[in-house]
Amino acid sequence: MEKMKAAMIGFLSKEKDPYEQLEIYAKMGYRAFEGANLLLRDGDPSENLKRVKSFGMEPLAVHLNIMDPPPIADVIKDAQATGVKRVACYCGCAGAYRFGGRPTPPTLDELKKECEAFDKAAEELGKEGISLSFHNHDAEFLQVLGGVPVFYQMVANTQYLKFEVDCGWVAYAGCDPIYVMKNLGDRMVSVHIKDFEAGSSVTREEDSIVMPRFTTPGTGALDLKGCLETALAAGMDYAIVEQDFQYNLSQEETLQAAYLNMKETGFVE
């Protein structure tokens, strides 16, 4: 049976060299990281790319902020310089309201205009063989516009936009990530594996925003095995581990435990 490879996003402490951290994660069993903009920060991107490849890591995507988008030509240049075929957007108007980026929830007209911007960018990127994916949070399932959750409005009102399903946020919203993945078909291009403690939330001191109480994948409410099985059946190459913050384990311990828990399911190599 073909298996997915383990990947990660985040887990790079500012106090430590990011490349040294990535090499440690490669030795654990991780084969890719999302956040290829790292390679553009210091030095020659081509040399930085060679460095991460030398210890068995692959970059997966560069970032696009749809609410303040740079010229698409610049995004294409960044993707090509880092050797990736995907651009990821991590927040739209619904998420901006959820996380304090705007004072009011978006209207249906605002969302539809954002969908137009997404599809225009996705079409241009597609001409270069690059996909544009949107990463959900809980907001896209909990905010309802025109009688339909934002997430499904986005699917219905775009043609070229792809989706990166964050299983943990879908589950935290009270929805079934397995159902979501199965029904997206080829609109899904990647999967984030995130877990949280059932019935437990925390409030961030700096902004009073309520968040899940995240925990290492495989130790919380997420149906880890079911999500991985579904992702693999859908043709996903990577299971991308994400955890916004840690509690009892360090970043390295979290990634090590997450990798072993995923490998134990039999769906990750």
135 bridge partner residues = 164
3-state secondary structure of 49: helix
Work out the number of other CB atoms within 10 angstroms of the CB of residue 145. Answer: 18
Whether the full predicted model's pTM is greater than 0.95, yes or no, is: yes
In sign, the C-alpha dihedral spanning 259, 262, 268, 269 is positive
pLDDT (0 to 100) of residue 65 = 97
Residue 194: closest CA among 134, 263, 254, 266: 254
pLDDT (0 to 100) of residue 45 = 97
Q: Which CATH number fits the domain 5-265, given the four candidates 3.40.50.720, 3.20.20.70, 3.20.20.150, 3.30.420.40?
A: 3.20.20.150
* Per-run averaged pLDDT (10 residues), the chain, 269 residues: 95 95 98 98 96 98 96 98 98 98 97 98 98 98 98 98 98 98 98 96 93 98 98 98 95 98 98
Residue 157: closest CA among 195, 198, 200, 108: 108
pLDDT (0 to 100) of residue 80 = 98
Q: Encoding tokens for residue 47?
A: 């040399």
* Chain position carrying tokens 């990647």: 190
Spatial separation of the C-alpha atoms in residues 64 and 114, rounded to whole Å:
13
